[in-house]
Amino acid sequence: MKEIVLDTETTGLSVRDGHRIVEIGCIELDNLVPTSNRFHCYLNPERKVSEQALKVHGYSDEFLSNKKKFSEIADDFIKFIKDKKIIIHNAEFDISHINNELQIAGKEKITNSNIIDTLDIARNKFPGSQISLDALCKRFRIDNSKREKHTALIDCELLSKVYINLIDQKEPSLNFQNQDTLNNKNLKTNVSYFKKVITPSIEEVKNHKAYLKSNLKKNFFS
């Protein structure tokens, strides 16, 4: 099954304030394995980047001024995501901006039925815990040291790993066997899988118990 991990960067928080997309990043997953099929572009938002957004992603008005407009890449973007589930962290934010751009370009909006929101999955799985992308990387021991700024492709790479862990799947890794075949350029690979076992911290256990106390009718933790 093919899925798309997607992230955007924008000029600001809300489309109601006229904010637009400045970057789109997408990575294709095929049965949870990232492929080489990616979609990435910077966009001219046709407006100024807010100071707050500039601090987040670092894309200046000058840098974006000569980039393509969304309407120029809309068809390629639609083709890339067509008929695939889209995985997003905090989907409400990204989809509101994407659908705003699609509407401006005169294209059909994305429906919620095609969206998998990892924020919702994390909220249900780890109630009372921090569930930002950085927090989930820390929980699953995923290296996010390259994430000095929020950039769409790096965030997609991290989210793909977080997603695999969130849905309790084993993370794919390549095992290369038979060194002689490597030397002969006749490479044989097998895909093996491993799963990280994460032990909750004392604080996370405490937060989880507090959540259960406030949400369950019976109190098992008195």
Q: How many other β-carbons are positioned within 10 Å of the β-carbon of residue 18?
A: 12
Single out the catalytic residue among 19, 57, 89, 150: 150
57 is catalytic: no
Burial 190-219 (b: 16+ CB within 10 A, else e): eeeeeeeeeeeeeebeebbeeeeeeeeeee
Instruction: Assess contact for 94 and 7: CB atoms under 8 A.
Output: yes
Reduced DSSP (H G I as helix, E B as strand, rest coil) percent helix, strand, coil of the chain, to 5: 40, 25, 35
DSSP 11-48: SSS-GGGT--EEEEEEEEEETTEEEEEEEEEEB--SSP
User: Which structure tokens are listed for 219?
Assistant: 């109190």
Report, as residue numbers or ranges, the catalytic residues: 150
